[in-house]
Amino acid sequence: DTGVSQDPRHKITKRGQNVTFRCDPISEHNRLYWYRQTLGQGPEFLTYFQNEAQLEKSRLLSDRFSAERPKGSFSTLEIQRTEQGDSAMYLCASSTTGVQQPQHFGDGTRLSIL
């Protein structure tokens, strides 16, 4: 399967700990997106990369969150000093460059804060 891959699928951690998630996009997709989804809601945009450049950040992305895509391939999303409100599904998507190209999503990492 050559879809978007996310790791881990589930993460349980205590409040105050740091967590890091990884996303491997579809190969040759130079755009990569992070979204967050809470129960009963649709996904909400967090940030977007074109190649290694982070071009857009949502105001949802507080200073405890940082995302990287160092070589323009995989990406990591780190949350520092986790809080209860960070419990959510974190989704990654990728797309090619080009007008109207659809985003293709991974199955997400579900984060639970104890």
Partner 1 sequence: DAKTTQPTSMDCAEGRAANLPCNHSTISGNEYVYWYRQIHSQGPQYIIHGLKNNETNEMASLIITEDRKSSTLILPHATLRDTAVYYCIVRVYQTGANNLFFGTGTRLTVIP
Binding of residue 31 to partner 1 (CB under 8 A): yes
**Which range in 14-22, 52-60, 63-71, 75-83 contacts partner 1 by CB under 8 A?**
52-60
Among residues 21, 24, 36, 43, which is the contact residue for partner 1, using CB under 8 A? 43
Q: What's 41-67 look like in SS3?
A: CCCEEEEEEECCEEEEECCCCCCCEEE
Q: How far is the CB of 109 from partner 1 (least distance, A)?
A: 10
Nearer to partner 1, 45 or 68 (CB): 45
Binding of residue 4 to partner 1 (CB under 8 A): yes
Q: How far is the CB of 62 from partner 1 (least distance, A)?
A: 17
Please tell me whether residue 55 adopts helix, strand or coil conformation: strand
Nearer to partner 1, 58 or 80 (CB): 58
Burial (CB count within 10 angstroms: exposed 0-12, middle 13-18, buried 19+), residue 58: middle
Q: For residue 10, which amino acid is it? A: H
Nearer to partner 1, 39 or 85 (CB): 39
Tokens standing for residue 45: 């945009």
85: left (phi over 0), alpha (psi -120 to 50) or beta: alpha
